[in-house]
Amino acid sequence: MIKILFVEDDESCAYAVQGGLELFDVYDIRHAYNGKEALKIYNEFCPDVVVSDVEMPIMDGFEFASAIRSQDKDVVLLLATGLVTPKNVERGYALGIDEYVKKPYIASELHLRIQAILSRSSESKGAKENVDNKNRRSIGYYYILDIDKKTLFYNDNTIQKLTPREADLLMLLFENKNQLVERVDILNQLWNKDDPVFSSRSLDVFVSKLRTYLSKDSSIVLENVRSKGLRLLVPCI
């Protein structure tokens, strides 16, 4: 599924376009009404594509695009506006957007534009989840987890050999990055179900170890959500 963050303050337009895109059955879509709200969703959702209106309250599309490009140079970024003036076009492309979409537009037009851009960039980042090679995952700005070797690298230098369970726990949290993973689910997948008290305490020890291993990158936070579970917070890169 291609993850799209759709930013549009006009509720009827948002409803029509999002509904139309969902009919293609290839998109996972999150919607925001303004740039400020969209930034929060962006950091949690890590989309492949961002489609944003320009004329919005609180934070307009240009401010939002600038904020996105300051932290992510690769996400596909489209701006939609009914005011496609030379000045606005120049400003948008100077911020690093990929394309303008002139309003009004329909979902099928947006679908074709998105597919064309992703096709052109397929050798780089058609979808962020496939950026890393088969056996490696980039975590944060500086770490790489080699799944087969169960080794954590920092700036291409070996930083830590992991035990199988440490590697499995880190991979489970990374596959669900920026989302809550409930303790019960972690314990059921990775620990002995016959001794839940011991398993829970053991999990806490492993969490402490992973925090130490990942401490060189301040952008990574392994958060313990009290009585609920764990959340690995990593930047969208």
Phi-psi region of 48 (alpha: psi -120 to 50; beta: other; left: phi over 0): alpha
Residue 51 has pLDDT above 90, yes or no: yes
Structure tokens at 19: 């509904």
Could you give the CA distance from residue 141 to residue 31 in angstroms, rounded to a whole number?
A: 27
Please tell me the least confidently modeled range out of 81-90, 125-134, 164-173, 214-223: 125-134
Question: What domains are there in the chain, each with its CATH number?
Answer: 2-129 (3.40.50.2300), 132-233 (1.10.10.10)
Percent of the chain predicted with pLDDT > 70:
90
pTM: 0.61
Q: How far apart are CA 164 and CA 47, in angstroms?
A: 30
Sign of CA dihedral 171, 175, 180, 183: negative
* Residue-wise pLDDT tens digits, 131-149: 455 678 889 888 999 888 8
